Amino acid sequence: MALKKKPVTGMRDVLPMEMQIRDFMMNQIKETYRSFGFSSIETPCVEHIENLTSKQGGDNEKLIFKILKRGEKLNVEAATTEDEVVDSGLRYDLTLPLSRYYANNAANLPSPFKALQMGSVWRADRPQKGRFRQFVQCDIDILGDATNFAEIELILATTTALSRICPEKTFTVRINDRNILKGMAAYCGFPEDSYDQVFIILDKMDKIGLSGVQEELLEAGFDASSVEKYKELLETIGKDADAVKNLGSTLAEVMPQSVTEGLAHIMETVAGVSATDIGLEFDPTLVRGMSYYTGTIFEVAMEGFGGSVGGGGRYDEMIGKFTGKPTPACGFSIGFERLVSILMEEGFSIPGQKNKKAYLFEKGVDSTVLAQLMARAMEERKNGVQVLVAQMNKNKKFQKEQLMKEGYEEFEEFYKDTLKY
């Protein structure tokens, strides 16, 4: 079989320039999260097929890269279905493996447990621009804390990390609660079994606006008075903690007021932490797709860019499915790949990077001279300077141009027949 030069469909090679940005971002994020007391952990990239297909992952479960059984366990000839030939697959997110990890290791972990994960996940999505089948996710989660202090810490940590990467940008966190979404739908009289349909339409607000949402709800056959009531409610709610409290009074007949009080408490506390400069808005139209969310949901947007650069929420029921014992959990994920593309497009240059030097030596320099040269390079490297030592190419001019593209700014040349060295 002939060798193939291109990566497999939908995956890609990362070139040095982009890799510098990725490494920089990873370091900034890890350092920030560590300063908040989050602990790095890692799970295998390969998970049991039973866990991956347990209906926790919604549509992602259709996109799993499945791994073939090995040895005696595999009998392709006799097999008639996929299930018979696979025993595992590549993880499609970091949340399901985290739940398994916590179930497996809780006895050796502090409670509550603040976890930090950065790693690749795989989804066999239809290849399209800017979307790849292997990509990095970057999650923090607090497990075992039912109070909304977990949400507060997650919001502060995530926005601090983002601000460290892009200090000149403004970030806005939009926040909502699954129970408020449901409460509003109940209050307006939508039938309970059609909530998901209502939310899918509501989720398009960004693109089609409130009147578009109204139209689609009517087209979908919902009661006109419900749609009208919903529209009025959405139009009149404000964005701050007081708005959330007022909404609580309105929805008191269909929903416990503790939900809105909790959300207002989160917003007040985050706003009160003067050390940060975060825009935090209540957004009653925020839906978020993952079916496992049970309470608070959030999304973060960056000034000047559509869509989100992160999101998350509370999922109090997933870990219990592994352990049989309910364990509250809440997580926030940074849209790592989205941020990388934004920074690449903007021609981001890494702050505080030291000069890069290149020493070019002529072919045939003898061992002693070369050794002296390298000893000097080693000294500079010790002081944090990046020093490339390379033999001079025949076309020195082109070599230097290439190196300048890689960020080398200073050059020193060493010849064998001069006393320069």
Scanning 148-156, 176-184, 200-208, 243-251 for contacts with its own copies by CB under 8 A, the matching segment is 148-156
Count the site residues for its own copies by CB under 8 A: 119
Residue 348: C-alpha distances to residues 78, 161, 345, 361 (Å) = 55, 17, 8, 32
Q: Which two three-digit tokens encode residue 24?
A: 């920089």
Q: Does 95 bind its own copies (CB under 8 A)?
A: no
Nearer to its own copies, 26 or 234 (CB): 26
Q: Please tell me the distance from the alpha carbon of residue 367 to that of residue 345, in angstroms, as a whole number.
A: 45
Q: Which two three-digit tokens encode residue 146?
A: 């039912």
Phi-psi sector, 183: left (phi>0), alpha (psi -120 to 50), beta: alpha
- The correct pick among 269, 285, 296, 333 for binding its own copies (CB under 8 A) is 269
Quick count: other Cβ atoms within 10 Å of Cβ 243?
18
Which residues 63-92 are close enough to bind its own copies by CB under 8 A?
65-68, 70, 74, 76-77, 79-82, 84-88, 90
Q: Does 160 bind its own copies (CB under 8 A)?
A: yes
Closest C-alpha among 309, 329, 295, 318 to residue 175 = 295
Q: Which two three-digit tokens encode residue 303?
A: 């000034």
Phi-psi sector, 352: left (phi>0), alpha (psi -120 to 50), beta: left
Q: Does 260 bind its own copies (CB under 8 A)?
A: no
Q: Does 245 bind its own copies (CB under 8 A)?
A: no
Which residues 357-386 are close enough to bind its own copies by CB under 8 A?
358, 363, 367-368, 370-372, 374-375, 378-379, 381-382, 384-386
The nearest distance, CB 94 to its own copies, in angstroms, is 13
Phi-psi sector, 293: left (phi>0), alpha (psi -120 to 50), beta: beta
4 contact partners, CB below 8 Å, separation of at least 6: none
The nearest distance, CB 402 to its own copies, in angstroms, is 5
Q: Please tell me the distance from the alpha carbon of residue 14 to that of residue 18, in angstroms, as a whole number.
A: 7
Q: Does 258 bind its own copies (CB under 8 A)?
A: no
Nearer to its own copies, 86 or 255 (CB): 86
The nearest distance, CB 153 to its own copies, in angstroms, is 7
Q: Does 128 bind its own copies (CB under 8 A)?
A: no
- The correct pick among 60, 94, 112, 293 for binding its own copies (CB under 8 A) is 112
The nearest distance, CB 238 to its own copies, in angstroms, is 19
139 contact partners, CB below 8 Å, separation of at least 6: 94, 95, 98, 115, 116, 117, 118, 312, 331, 332, 333, 334
The nearest distance, CB 74 to its own copies, in angstroms, is 7
Q: Does 13 bind its own copies (CB under 8 A)?
A: yes
- The correct pick among 123, 299, 403, 414 for binding its own copies (CB under 8 A) is 403
The nearest distance, CB 275 to its own copies, in angstroms, is 4
Q: Does 233 bind its own copies (CB under 8 A)?
A: no
- The correct pick among 25, 28, 29, 47 for binding its own copies (CB under 8 A) is 47
Q: Does 344 bind its own copies (CB under 8 A)?
A: no
Q: How many CA atoms lie within 13 A of 202 on its CB side?
A: 23
